[in-house]
A and B are shown apart, each in its own frame.
Chain A
C-alpha cells in the first residue's frame, strides 16, 4: 500500500477521540481502546515493509494511542462500572444522558451570585461514613422527645462542627461569678477553660467579682478575652446565687446583646478536664444534672409547693437541669434570666424560697420552653458522685470543697 509516515497519526487521533467522547456517547469498554492500538500496530508493521522504519519505532504510536485513550476518558471507572441493580425511586435507568437543549441556555438569573458559594464550602475532610443501621450509642438517650439532640461522647464529629462553626464568626460570652471566698476558684476555672473551652474560638469571659484586686493575672489564648466586672456581694449565699439571674439579664440588655451572639452562665467552682466545644452552641441549652439523670420523675428535686413560682405540678417534667451550666443565644438567655428572676422576686415578696433557689426556677422555665439542645452530665459532673460507665468523659466537674467553709 501507499502508506506514508503521516498516516500513523490517524489511529492515534482516533484513539484520542474515542477515548474522550466515549464516556458521553457510547458504553466504552476496556476492549475498545485496543482498536486504535492494534491499528497503529498494523500500519506501523506494514510501514516497515515499505519505508525505512525500524521495528522499535512501532512502539511509539502504540504507546501514544494507549496514553491518549487512557487520558481521554476522564474517569475510567465511569465507563467500566457495573450499574447497581437497586431500582431507583422514580427513574428506571441511571445511565447518564447527554442532552442539552441549546435553545434554552439563556436563563434569567435574578442577581449576581458568587459561584464559589455554591461549591463545596467545608474543607475536604475524611471521616467514617455514618451508617443508618449502626447507632453510635445504645446505652443512653440521644434525643429528647421533642427532637433536641443530647450531647454524649461518641455521637458527634467535632471536626465537622468546627468547620461549620468557623464560617459563621460567632462570639461566645461566658458569665461567671466569684464573690467572697469563691475568688479562690478563679485561677482553676480560667486556666482550664482557657485550654478546654471552645478551644480555638473567640470567647469573652465576663468575671463578676466583689474583689477585682484578687483576680490573678493570667495569660489567655489570643482568641480569649477576660473582662472583670465589679459586683456587690450579699450576706446570704443563696441571694448571691439567685441574683446572678438579675445581673445577667441586665448586663445583656446594656452590653452583651451588642457584644456576643451566644452566652453561657457557668459556676466558678469548676474545672475542665476535657474539651467542651462548639457542640454546645445552640439557641437554648440546658445541662442534665448529674444528680438527677436516673431518678424517676416524681422524686426529682423540682419545687412542688404551689405557692412558689417555680412549682412544677406532679407528673410533669422532662429532665432535671443543673443551674451550673446553661446558655444559648443572647436573646433566649435574656428571656430565661428575666423570667427566672421575676419568679425569684415574686417568691421573695411572698416569703418563700424555692427548694434549689434559682435552679428550681430554671427547671420550671426549661420545662415550658424546651431547650433546643441538651448537654449530658459529662458537661457538669458533681465531684462528690462516683462516675458510672455511661459517663465516658468528665469534661467539667465541680471542685472538691467544704461547702460550709466556703460559703461562710
Chain B
C-alpha cells in the first residue's frame, strides 16, 4: 500500500523540473496519506479489540462496529480516488503515459477497492457500511463522468474514465458482490491500460500534443493505434461480448435487481450513459473528421515496441472477459431471470449516450453553442472542487503554522514567559500595592493593637 503510494509520488514527478508535475505528485501523496489515516485507524482498532490483523480470524466476528469499517472506506476513498479525495487522479496525468497506464488505471488505484474486497466479510454484516460504499461509489462515478464530458486533454478524459469505473467498482462492493468487483478490476485493467498506451502513442506521434481539439483524422494516419483505441472504447462502454461487457453488464443487472437506494441506481445508469458519451466524443474528435494536426508531422507506426503491447492488450480486451468468466465461476449466484427491460437496461442506456454524443457532435458542426453556461462551467472546472479545497485550507494551515512556529513561540517563551512577562507581573503587583498603601501609620498601629487584643480575648 505504502510502496505504491510512494512509487506513484516519485513517478508522477518524473520530470521533476516541472513545477506542475511536482504539485501533482504532492497532491497524490497528500490525498493518499489522508486515506491512510483511515487504514491506520482500522488497523489500530483491529489490533486493540480483536488482537489480530489476520483477515481469516477477523472474518469470524459477527458484528463489527462502524468505526473500523469507516476507516477502511476512508482508505479506499483516498487510494481509489472516490469523491472527496479524488483530485489527485486527474492531476497524476502530469506523469509519463506508461506510469498512467500501469499505476493510475490498472494496479495502484484499484488497491483501495482490493482492500475492501479482501475485507468483505467485515463489511458484509454491516448494512450501513455497504450503503455508504454504494452511495459514495455512485456519486464518484457520476461526478467523474460529468467532469470527463468537457475535458479537452486526452489523458484527462481517460483519467476521469478510470475514476468513474472505480466508482462503479465501489458500487459493486456496496451491493455485497466483491467477486464481481474483482472481475471488473481484471477486465478494466485490460482496456484501460490499452487506452492509455494508445493515447501515449498518439501523443508521441504528434510530438507532445495532448489536446484533442488539435487532433483529427488519425484513423488513416495511425490505423493500428486508433483501431485499438476504438476497441478499448467499445470495451469500456460495455459492448456485448467484449471484456467490459462481462463485468459491467453484470453489475448493472445486479443493480437493477437489488434492494437499494434508488438515487444510487439512477446515478450509476446516468454515469453509464455519460461513459458512452465522452468515449464517443473522444473517438470522434481524435480519429474522425478533418485533421487539425500540423501538416508536417512525422507520424508513423514503425516501432513494434509501441504497437505490439497495444495489439496484445487489444486481444486481451476482447478475450479476457470470456476467458475469466468461463474458468472462474462466481461464488454467489447472480440473478438469472429478469424482465427484458432490466436485462437490456445497460445496452439501452449506452445507446442513449451514443446518440446524445452524435447529436452534440452534429450540433457542434452546424450551430454555434453559447460559450459558457452553469453546467458546462461546473463540468469544465471539475465541480469547482479543486480551487475551493486547494486554496483556503493549505493557505490557512501554512500561514498559521508559520505564525505559531516563529512568531507565537518567540512571543510567548522569550517575551511573555521571560522578561516582559515578569516585568508585567511586577508592574501589576507594585501598582496594586501602591494603590492600597495610603500611609496612615496611626490607623495601622491602632488596627494592629485592636486585632491583637481581640485574639487574646478569644483565646481566654
Whether A and B are associated in the same complex: the answer reads: no
Chain A residues packing against B (C-beta within 8 Å): none
